[in-house]
């Protein structure tokens, strides 16, 4: 049992009720955020809330709360659930109405938030990395919005799992975009590369932090597009997200990436990321 937030109240998840006519349930008509909590601190909360604003604006759902109000809810959720490290999930749907594709005239958004424990990266991944499979990116043209309509992402991820991989790396118009639930980096000859932000990928909060850390530490990094062939010839490949941090990909389409082990730049960036996390405390609102 965990304590969740629903439309103004905190309650056990077993007591929460949402109408089956909610447009999130009927149409997947909503947006979400996933925010990590490290040592009790909401990690990069302003960045996550700004992206939430952007997703809401993109699908024309009004932002129900101020950032300050959201931060208060998130703090309460952290306190009411156990563990110093948690993953907070926010979901806002357009609300409950008689089924009709068009937006209802008067509708109140449904606001839901929950917490799950955030597990550290397994030792096996740290030492051996993960395998990934390249697949055609058949998602829509607004991948920069974090919407709950994730069926294409789910099918792609499952296709990767069925092929023996852990994550799908997506290809659109001959260029690599991102993972089904992660952003992508590659390194070649000591230069780190990641596709530029735009409608083809989610502007990951972890991605942005890695770009920032690379610049601060004078590592060579470039936000540039690359092809599947360039990816296949990479020295290192990483996948990043708020729940998995930085994952080293050591097998791509069944072939070893370089020597098939997590690389030195991954180790360096992981160390920088961990020390940033340790020094991080939320900015005062
Ligand atoms: N997913 N790209 C996609 C398609 C994602 O779903 C995610 C994260 C990312 C990484 O973004 P961030 O670093 O802000 O977590 C990139 C979350 C974790 C999820 O859906 O559970």
Q: Is residue 123 part of a domain?
A: no
What is the residue-averaged pLDDT of the chain?
A: 97
**Do residues 111 and 171 both lie within one domain?**
no
106 Cα: distance to centroid of ligand 1 (angstroms): 31
The helix (H) or strand (E) run that includes residue 55 is helix 45-59
> Among the three residues 93, 117, 141, which one is the final residue of a domain in this structure?
117
Q: For residue 207, give the ligand 1 atom closest to its CA.
A: 13
For residue 133, what is the domain's CATH number?
A: 3.20.10.10
200-217 pLDDT, tens per residue?
Answer: 999 999 999 999 999 999
| Alpha-carbon 246 to chain mean position | 12
- What is the arithmetic mean of pLDDT over 193-197? 98
Q: What is the pLDDT of residue 139?
A: 98
Q: Both 81 and 162 in a single domain?
A: no
Catalytic positions: 146
CA of 269 to the centre of ligand 1 (A): 19
**Per-residue pLDDT, 285:** 54
Question: 148 and 83, same structural domain?
Answer: no
191 SS3 class: strand
Give, for ligand 1, the residue of 31, 34, 238 to mutate: max count of ligand atoms closer than 8 Å to Cβ.
34
Task: Summarize pLDDT for 46-83 with one digit per residue, the tens.
Answer: 999 999 999 999 999 999 999 999 999 999 999 999 88
User: What is the Cα 53 distance to its own chain's centre?
Assistant: 16
Residue 169 shares a structural domain with residue 208? yes
Contact 17, 10 (CB under 8 A): no
* Ligand 1 environment, Cβ below 6 A: 34, 178, 181-183, 202, 204-207, 240-243
Atom of ligand 1 nearest to the CA of 51: 14
Domain residue limits at 37: 3-117
Which of the listed residues 66, 88, 117 is the one where a domain comes to its end?
Answer: 117
**pTM confidence score:** 0.97
Residue 284 covered by a domain: no
d(CA 132, CA 135): 10
Domain boundary among 63, 86, 117: 117
Q: Are residues 108 and 36 in the same domain?
A: yes
Q: Is there a single domain that holds both residue 266 and residue 161?
A: yes
Let me know: does 115 contact 77? Beta carbons within 8 Å.
Answer: yes
Asked if the structure places residue 122 within a domain, the reply is: no
- Are 154 and 100 members of one domain? no
Domain tally, the chain? 2
- Nearest residue CA, atom 3 of ligand 1? 181
Confidence of residue 280 (pLDDT cuts 50, 70, 90): confident
Q: What is the CATH number of the domain that holds 94?
A: 3.30.470.10
- Does a structural domain hold residue 24? yes
- Separation of 177 CA from ligand 1 center, angstroms? 13
Mean pLDDT score, 128-145: 98
Give the model confidence (pLDDT) of 153-185 as tens digits.
Answer: 999 999 999 999 999 999 999 999 999 999 999
CA of 17 to the centre of ligand 1 (A): 27
Which pLDDT score, from 0 to 100, does residue 191 have? 98
| Whole-angstrom distance, CA of residue 45 vs CA of residue 36 | 9
């Amino acid at each position: 049992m965990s304590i969740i937030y629903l439309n103004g109240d905190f309650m056990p998840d077993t007591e929460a009720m949402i109408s089956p006519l909610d447009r999130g349930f009927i149409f997947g008509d909503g947006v979400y955020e996933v925010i990590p909590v490290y040592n009790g601190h909401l990690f990069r909360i302003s960045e996550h809330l700004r992206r939430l604003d952007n997703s809401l604006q993109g699908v024309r759902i009004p932002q129900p709360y101020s950032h300050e109000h959201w931060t208060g809810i998130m703090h309460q959720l952290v306190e009411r659930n156990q563990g110093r490290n948690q993953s907070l999930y926010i979901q806002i749907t357009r609300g409950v109405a008689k089924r009709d594709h068009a937006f209802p005239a008067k509708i109140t958004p449904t606001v839901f938030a929950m917490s799950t424990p955030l597990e550290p990266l397994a030792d096996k991944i740290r030492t051996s990395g993960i395998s990934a499979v390249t697949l055609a990116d058949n998602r829509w043209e607004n991948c920069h919005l974090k919407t709950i309509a994730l069926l294409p992402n789910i099918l792609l991820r499952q296709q990767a799992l069925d092929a023996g991989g852990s994550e799908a790396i997506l290809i659109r118009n001959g260029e690599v975009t991102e993972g089904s639930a992660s952003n992508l980096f590659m390194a070649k000859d000591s230069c780190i590369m990641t596709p530029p932000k735009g409608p083809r990928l989610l502007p990951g909060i972890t991605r942005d932090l890695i770009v920032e850390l690379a610049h601060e530490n004078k590592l060579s990094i470039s936000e540039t597009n690359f092809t599947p062939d360039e990816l296949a010839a990479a020295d290192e490949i990483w996948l990043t997200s708020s729940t998995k941090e930085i994952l080293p990909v050591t097998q791509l389409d069944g072939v070893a990436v370089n020597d098939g082990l997590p690389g030195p730049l991954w180790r360096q960036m992981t160390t920088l990321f961990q020390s940033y996390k340790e020094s991080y405390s939320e900015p005062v609102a």
